[in-house]
Every structure is written in C-alpha cells, then in structure tokens.
C-alpha cells in the first residue's frame, strides 16, 4: 500500500497509523488536504482492546466514508453489567454496536485511507529536525502541520513539549480471544473487586475477553480467576490468540496543540477502557482536526477536543469510582438491576443522546434513594 510519490513535502505529517492517525488522514483527504502517515509497524496492526465499536463510533466512521458492517464482526444491541449478585442490561437507544477484531478494523481503515489518496509509510522511522522538517527513514520531509497520533507513549507529545499532564490514572488490560458461539448479543462487563472482565462478541464463533485491573500484582496468567461463572463457560473453548497487554490510561493534558503540532487519539489524552469510548473519541477528534486545519486554526481544534472529551471523562470517573469502591459498585449495580429503566437512560447519557444534567435532575433522587435503601 505504498506509492511512488515523493514525501519531500506535505501539508500534514501524521506520526502513527493506528485508528486515530488513519481517521485523521481520511478526514483531511475528504477536505482535499495532502497528508503522509508514518508508522513504525506493518499492517494489520493489532492491539489489546475490547474491540467494541459503539453506535457513535460506527456513525463517525460512516461520515468518514467507511461503512463497518455486521460481516466485519458481530453486531451487539447494548451493554450488560453484572457482578456476583446482580445483572442488568440495556439496549442502545438507537442503532447497534459491532464487535470487530482489531486487525480487521485496522485493515479496513488502512485500505480506505489508501483509496482516499493518503500516502502511507509503514515500517518506517521518523525523527524531528525542526518545527517544519522531519526525517522519514533518513529522508528529509517538510510539512506545515505535525500530527501526533502515536498512542499512549507519544514521542510527538514529548518533542512538542505538550507533556504537561493535569490528570493521569493507569490501569492494565489483558486481552484474549476464545472460539465459542457468543452466548449474548450484549457486550458484557463483569465487575469484581479485582477489576472488570469485558466480553465482546467479535464473530459468529468467537469472543474477545479483556480483563482490566488497577492492580499489577493480579495473576495475569489466569485473567478469569475472579469470574468463576465465565471461567466455567470458557473452560473447553480453544484460545484463538496469544494474550496481549496494554495500559488503560485516564489522561488529561494541559494542551493538545501548539502553533504547528496537534495531538489526536490516545496521544492527546484518553479515557479508561471501561467507557468503551476511546475509538469513538478518536474518530470525532479526526473530524474536528481536519476542519480546524482547513480553517488554519489549531486553537479551534483545541476547543473541540475539550468538548469531545468532557462527557467520556465524566462517565469514566463515575465508573472508576465503582471500580475503586466495591461496596459502591455492588450498590450501584443492585440499584440499576432493580430499576433497569435507569440503566437504559444512563446508557443514553453515555452515548450523548440524553443529557447528564437532565438525568441528574429527573432521575438523580430515584437513583440516590435506590443506592442508599
Ligand atoms: C484494554 C483496553 C480495552 C479497550 N477497549 C476499547 C473498546 O472496546 N472500544 C473502544 O472504543 N476503545 C477501547 N479502548 C481504547 C482504544 O483501544 C484506544 O483509544 C485506541 O487504540 C486509540 O487509537 P490510537 O490510534 O490513538 O492509538 P494506537 O492504537 O495505540 O496507535 C498508535 C500507533 O502509533 C504507532 N507509533 C507509536 N510510536 C510511533 C513512532 N515513534 N513512530 C511511528 N509510529 C509510531 C504505533 O505503531 C501504533 O500503530 C481500549 C483500550 C484498552 C487499553
């Protein structure tokens, strides 16, 4: 997927060809802006992920011209929360989600970027020279904008002095795939004192299982240890992938831009994996970044970036409170199980189709009473 065009000049040089970098490149091409994407790896690039695309992620991708279909994975209709004593689920207010193997998602994004005329440089090294020039595999390339889409440990963030962090909380995720017919068309989030287990159906005969914990002392050779019911279900199921780990970070940066550099995706800060919103946020940021570059104002992107992150960060901190305090988690899931309409409305808030403020005013007292009674 390379072409013979020279890299010696481009409008936007994007470091990182993961979902965020590719989405940004596609959004730029939609506006006729030239761009080069450089990634150190070769596609399809895998990563530990829950692999659930929420309905808002699917519609963001559709507006980038990429239609993710049921054939790419497995459609799910909502979210289920469960712990040892309670269970509650809710369907999405509109549309459905799709569980998609990370490698499949990357393949589709990379092909679409190529089709839109993005110049893709895989297996490539990049070194900055100054604020307008970099070396790609030792070849000089000049650019107007440098986009850091290089993930949690972003080098661009460091080069551009954008590392000043307002908030940082780390958890750790471990992912496996099992060959089994999905037993549910919900993404299941199982809660225990040790952390959460997410189960996403990703095909007619496989599920993605991720354990996320704040405690690195947990035995990661047995990620099902705290979930005996799921362990029994998966006992005979063959493993389809090697276990992969990744950091799940809640990170807020003071700034995501300077005059010529913008950060996007996990490089620009992130929400915990429990929100399932990392990909959707990256795709929304991609649209905002392309609009800002077209307008010649990265400040416009900085404002949009704050707006895009506000709700996922709020929902993330509510869920991390449940993670930290097992008694709150148990009471919250118990309260939602006894009034499933509250869970349905909270899911609508999470997806941005219902306002948090409206929920707090109209349902807060009922939820609060259920929590304490
Ligand atoms: C355990 C876990 C579960 C998750 N589950 C979900 C989920 O179910 N749904 C969801 O929406 N989100 C989920 N997320 C979040 C989601 O995975 C991330 O938000 C998403 O991967 C961010 O994409 P990105 O392109 O910013 O970063 P990445 O996917 O990390 O891509 C960064 C790219 O940059 C490249 N790179 C890095 N450094 C350099 C360099 N110096 N030079 C060149 N290339 C470089 C890397 O090779 C990589 O390809 C989960 C995250 C975790 C940790």
Interval 173-195 mean pLDDT: 97
Which of ligand 1's atoms lies nearest the C-alpha of 152? 30
What was the pLDDT predicted at 334? 93
Residues 131-145, mean pLDDT to the nearest whole number: 95
In whole angstroms, what is the distance from residue 151 CA to residue 266 CA? Answer: 5
Alpha helix ranges (H) inside the chain: 19-30, 55-63, 102-115, 155-159, 228-233, 278-295, 298-324, 326-338, 340-350, 356-372
Q: For residue 186, what are the CA distances in angstroms to 19, 52, 55, 164, 339?
A: 24, 10, 13, 38, 18
| pLDDT band per the 50, 70, 90 thresholds, residue 7 | low
Ligand 1 centroid from CA 188, angstroms: 22
301-322 average pLDDT score: 95
CB distance 51 to ligand 1 below 6 Å: yes
- The confidence band for 4, taking pLDDT boundaries of 50, 70 and 90, is very low
Evaluate: CB of 19 within 6 angstroms of ligand 1: yes
Rounded CA separation 300/303 (Å): 5
**What percent of the chain stands above pLDDT 70?**
98
- The Å distance, Cα 266 to ligand 1 centre, comes to 6
- In ligand 1, the atom with minimum distance to the C-alpha of 21 is 25
For the Cβ of 41 lying below 6 angstroms from any atom of ligand 1, the answer is: yes
Bridge partners (DSSP) of residue 200 are 208
| pTM attached to this predicted model | 0.95
The residue whose CA has the least distance to atom 27 of ligand 1 is 151
pLDDT, residue 372, reads 74
Task: Give pLDDT, residue 358.
Answer: 87
Which residues, other chains included, contact 270 with Cβ-Cβ below 8 Å and sequence gap of 6+? 152, 249, 250, 251, 278, 281
Ligand 1: atom nearest CA of 267 is: 26
Nearest atom in ligand 1 to 173's CA: 1
- Rounded to whole angstroms, the Cα distance separating 17 from 21 reads 5
Instruction: For residue 185, name the pLDDT band (cuts at 50, 70, 90).
Output: very high
Integer CA distances (angstroms), 328 to 94, 193, 324, in order:
29, 11, 9
Q: Which atom of ligand 1 is nearest to the CA of 210?
A: 1
Per residue in 87-106, pLDDT (tens digit) is 999 999 999 999 999 999 99
Q: Rounded to the nearest whole angstrom, what is the distance from the C-alpha of residue 265 to the centroid of ligand 1?
A: 7
Give the DSSP letter of residue 271: -
Cα(16) to centroid(ligand 1), Å: 9
Identify the CA nearest to 269 among candidates 145, 162, 147, 109.
Answer: 162
| 334 Cα: distance to centroid of ligand 1 (angstroms) | 33
* Residue 213, beta-bridge partner list: 172
pLDDT of 1 higher than 80: no
How many angstroms is it from 273 CA to the middle of ligand 1?
11
Buried b (16+ CB within 10 A) or exposed e, 85-116: ebebbbebeeebbbbbbbebbbbbbbebbbeb
Sheet containing 52-53, strands listed edge to edge, beginning at the edge strand earlier in sequence:
52-53, 97-99, 74-76
Residue 208 has φ and ψ, to the nearest 5°, of: -100, 130
| Average pLDDT for the chain | 94
The answer, yes or no, to whether any atom of ligand 1 lies below 6 A from the CB of 156, is no
Q: How would residue 355 be classed by pLDDT, with cut points 50, 70 and 90? A: confident
Tell me the CA–centroid distance for residue 18 and ligand 1, in Å. Answer: 6
More confident residue, 118 or 222: 118
Pocket test for ligand 1, best of 23, 138, 150 (most atoms within 8 A of CB): 150
> Which pLDDT band, with edges at 50, 70 and 90, does 270 fall under?
very high
Report how far ligand 1's centroid is from the alpha carbon of 87 (Å): 30
Cα(363) to ligand 1 centroid in Å equals 35
């Amino acid at each position: 997927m390379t072409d013979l065009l020279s890299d010696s000049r481009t409008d936007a040089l994007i470091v990182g060809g993961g979902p965020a970098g590719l989405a940004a490149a596609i959004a730029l091409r939609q506006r006729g802006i030239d761009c080069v994407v450089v990634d150190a790896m070769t596609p399809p690039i895998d990563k530990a992920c829950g692999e659930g695309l929420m309905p808002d992620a699917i519609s963001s991708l559709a507006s980038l011209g990429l239609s993710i279909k049921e054939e790419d994975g497995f459609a799910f209709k909502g979210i289920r929360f469960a712990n040892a004593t309670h269970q509650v689920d809710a369907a999405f207010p509109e549309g459905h989600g799709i569980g998609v193997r990370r490698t499949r998602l990357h393949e589709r994004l990379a092909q679409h970027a190529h089709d839109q005329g993005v110049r893709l440089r895989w297996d490539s090294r990049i070194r900055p020279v100054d604020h307008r020039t970099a070396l790609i595999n030792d070849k000089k390339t000049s650019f107007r904008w440098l986009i850091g889409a290089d993930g949690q440990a972003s080098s661009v963030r460091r080069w551009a002095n954008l590392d000043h962090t307002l908030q940082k909380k780390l958890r750790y995720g471990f992912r496996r795939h099992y060959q089994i017919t999905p037993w549910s068309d919900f993404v299941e989030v199982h809660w225990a004192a040790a952390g959460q287990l997410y189960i996403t159906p990703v095909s007619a005969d496989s599920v993605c299982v991720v354990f996320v914990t704040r405690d690195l002392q947990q035995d990661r050779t047995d990620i099902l240890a705290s979930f005996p019911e799921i362990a029994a279900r998966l006992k005979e199921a063959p493993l389809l992938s090697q276990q992969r780990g990744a950091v799940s970070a809640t990170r807020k940066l003071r700034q995501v831009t300077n005059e010529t550099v913008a950060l996007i995706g996990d490089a620009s800060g992130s929400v915990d994996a429990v929100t399932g919103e990392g990909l959707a946020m990256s795709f929304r940021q991609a649209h905002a970044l392309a609009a800002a570059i077209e307008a010649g104002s990265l400040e416009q992107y900085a404002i949009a970036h704050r707006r895009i992150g506000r709700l996922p960060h709020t929902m993330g901190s509510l869920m991390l409170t449940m993670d930290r305090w097992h008694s709150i988690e148990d009471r919250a899931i118990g309260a939602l199980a006894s009034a499933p309409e509250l869970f349905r409305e909270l899911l609508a808030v999470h997806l941005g189709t219902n306002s948090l403020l409206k929920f707090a005013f109209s349902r807060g007292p009922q939820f609060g009473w259920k929590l304490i009674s």
